[in-house]
Structure 1
Amino acid sequence: MTTEYTGGSDPKRIMELLWGAPERTRRGPKPRLTAAQIVEAATEIADTEGLAALSMRRVAERLGVTAMSLYTYVPGKAELLDLMLDRVCAETAKPDDVPGGWRARLELVARETWALYMRHPWLLHVATNRPVLGPNLIARYDYELRAVDGVGLTDIEMDLVVTMVGDYVHGAVRSALAAVSVPKESGKTDDEWWAELSPLLEQVYDPERFPVATRVGAAAGEEYAAPLDPARAFEFGLARMLDGVAALVEGR
């Protein structure tokens, strides 16, 4: 899957689209579409068919219009991608009223981000080194920071903690999404794959050569009934990461 990059759009036009600047005056009949409808259709395509399937032509087909007509509303795919990213950022819950202090709030941030990736797997293939400075993305960044505001961290530490949580979820969710897609892509369930591989492995595998891997691998396989448990690994890693943040906060 090719990585797409945000920030490649026309700066003036994307800021107009993101922040709701007045629509340009058009002559003729009332427009059939809105930018929001186009973004909605594009997001549905990316969700169901993947980011590689997304194009202005494909969106136009879904909406029953010509591809050229879309450019009246959205200048191109770069702007469309930026709008899609800002749109989905509005879906995450805000942790302001969560009881339990900063830790519970950060847990919610992490789990909401996990759920967002699971709903929109194409987000994994969008690089945001040049972030989309839209209202929803900025609002999300603001309430994520508020999760650790006032606990004794510096502003830079607050930013680093939020970034760390986001990076952790980004990495963890890759494994979860792969576990979902592998059976579909390979045409085999995990049980079918293992049943085929296991007899072959037994012919070459020496447990005495790899004693720790043998012991732990057997225990993990019995526990998970699968090669791995991405959701459990996510929860375990999240708890250990927050333990580290707790040590930093308590050190203040």
Structure 2
Amino acid sequence: MTTDDAPESRMTREVELLWGLDASPPRRGPKPRLSREVVIGAAIAIADAEGIEAVSMQRVAKELGYTTMSLYRHVDSKEDLLVLMLDTAMDAPPPPPRSDGDWRAGLEEWCRGALELYRARPWSVRVASSGPPVGPNGLRWMEAGLRELVGSGLPVGEAVQMLVLLSAVLRDTVRLEADMSRAARATGTTLVEIEHDYSVGLRRVVTAEEFPTIALMLEEQVLEQGSGAGPPDRVGGPADELEFGIRRILDGIEAYVRAGEGTGGPSS
């Protein structure tokens, strides 16, 4: 097999897809009503309303009033459509560089921004990722996060590892929150009410002898804190309390860099 005959890698395919390198030259005459952007927009509208499970080429075609074959002129497969949807979902600009150079504040802002995007479109954390971002929007967010991590004193290789960790924490927390929200809606309750009911239920079975630490948690009413108050947009899910964990990760980065005396930290 010659090099020219070698199958195209998935990553190469995604770069071409997300940067429009596979697009045909524009035709003369009126702009067609159906385009790749229109297909992506319709797919995202379905996912926003019904979840990613509802998205299919057939369903998108039906929503747009076209045949499924018409969509394949603009998007080759559902796999390609999901890739395009994911990058489009990150179309909000990431935080710009801080004028004060405060990398911690910059990373906290980055995490809040990414969390807001994930919570606005929780279906995005359910799409399987084939690797690091390669699309324009994903790369902008990656660049912004790496910029702050490198600003902490980490070498870029270790900064990449920490960005993967932070991204995983954000995505998995939103995924858990979405699962809990779905269960709450099924029973006609809210996440805040579920937290309260959980505490009530545990008090019936938890004893200080068998579960001393959980008993302490119930005694200090950890789960009830903020259940009746807090900001009006409080969801009551795990992502509401993520800031504490993010700050502890940043504490670890700061301590690691200090211990390495500016060399990127000691070897593990």
TM-score (norm 2): 0.77
- Render the CA deviation track for 1:218-244: whole Å, top value 9, x for unaligned: 321342439x75244301101111111
Residue aligning to 2:18:
18
1:144 match: secondary structure: helix
Listed as ranges, the gaps of 5+ residues in structure 2 are 1-7, 229-235, 263-268
CA RMSD after TM alignment: 3.2
State the match for 2:244 in structure 1.
Answer: 236
Greater relative contact order structure (CA < 8 Å, 6+ sep): 1
Residue 70 of structure 1 corresponds to which residue in structure 2? 71
Name 1:3's counterpart in structure 2.
Answer: none
CA distance in 1, matches of 2:77, 2:15: 14
Aligned to 1:225: 227
1:247 matches 2:255: yes
- What corresponds to 1:38 in structure 2? 39
For 2:218, what is the secondary structure of its paired residue? helix
- 2:90 maps to 89
Q: 1:92 to 1:180 in 2, by over 3 A?
A: farther
CA 1:9 to 1:49, structure 2 compared with 1: closer, same or farther past 3 Å?
farther
1:53 to 2:61 alignment: no
Residues 166 and 98 of structure 1: is their aligned pair in 2 closer, same or farther, counting only changes over 3 Å? farther
Q: Does 1:102 align with 2:99?
A: no
Q: CA deviation at 1:199?
A: 7.3
Find the aligned partners of 1:52 and 1:66 in 2 and give their Cα distance.
20
CA offset at residue 53 of structure 1? Answer: 0.4
CA drift of 1:147 comes to: 1.4
CA deviation vs aligned residue, 1:70-97 (integer Å, no higher than 9, x gap): 1111111111111111112222423313
Q: Secondary structure at the match of 1:20?
A: coil
Quick one: structure 1 residues 156 and 192, their matched pair in 2 at CA, closer, same or farther if it must change by over 3 Å?
A: closer
Distance of 2:112 and 2:201 partners within structure 1 = 39
Q: Distance in 1 between matches of 2:69 and 2:53?
A: 20
What percentage of residue pairs aligned between the two structures are identical? 35
Larger mean Cα displacement after TM superposition, 155-164 or 214-223: 214-223
1:194-205 pair list within 5 angstroms: 198=200, 202=204, 204-205=205-206
Q: Any conservation in 2 of the 1:92–1:113 contact (CA below 8 Å)? A: no
CA distance in 2, matches of 1:225, 1:59: 40
* Distance in 2 (alpha carbons) for counterparts of 1:49 and 1:224: 30
Instruction: Identify if the C-alpha distance between structure 1 residues 221 and 79 changes in structure 2 by more than 3 Å, giving closer, same or farther.
Output: closer
Q: Residues 98 and 75 from structure 1, CA distance in 2 versus in 1: closer, same or farther, beyond 3 angstroms? A: farther
CA distance change for structure 1 residues 194 and 15 in 2, over 3 Å: closer, same or farther? closer
- 1:67/1:195 CA distance change after superposition, 3 Å: same
1:80 corresponds in structure 2 to: 81
Shift of 1:101: 0.9
Matched, 1:149 2:150: yes
Q: Which residue number corresponds to residue 4 of structure 1?
A: none
Cα distance between partner residues in 2 of 1:74 and 1:143: 29
Q: Is the 8 A contact 1:85 1:132 kept in 2?
A: no
Q: Would the aligned equivalents of 2:48 and 2:123 in 1 still touch at CA under 8 Å?
A: yes
Higher mean alpha-carbon deviation, 27-36 vs 209-218, is at 27-36
Q: Against the structure 1 CA distance between its residues 154 and 53, is the aligned structure 2 distance closer, same or farther, given a 3 Å change threshold?
A: same
Residue-pair matches, total = 243
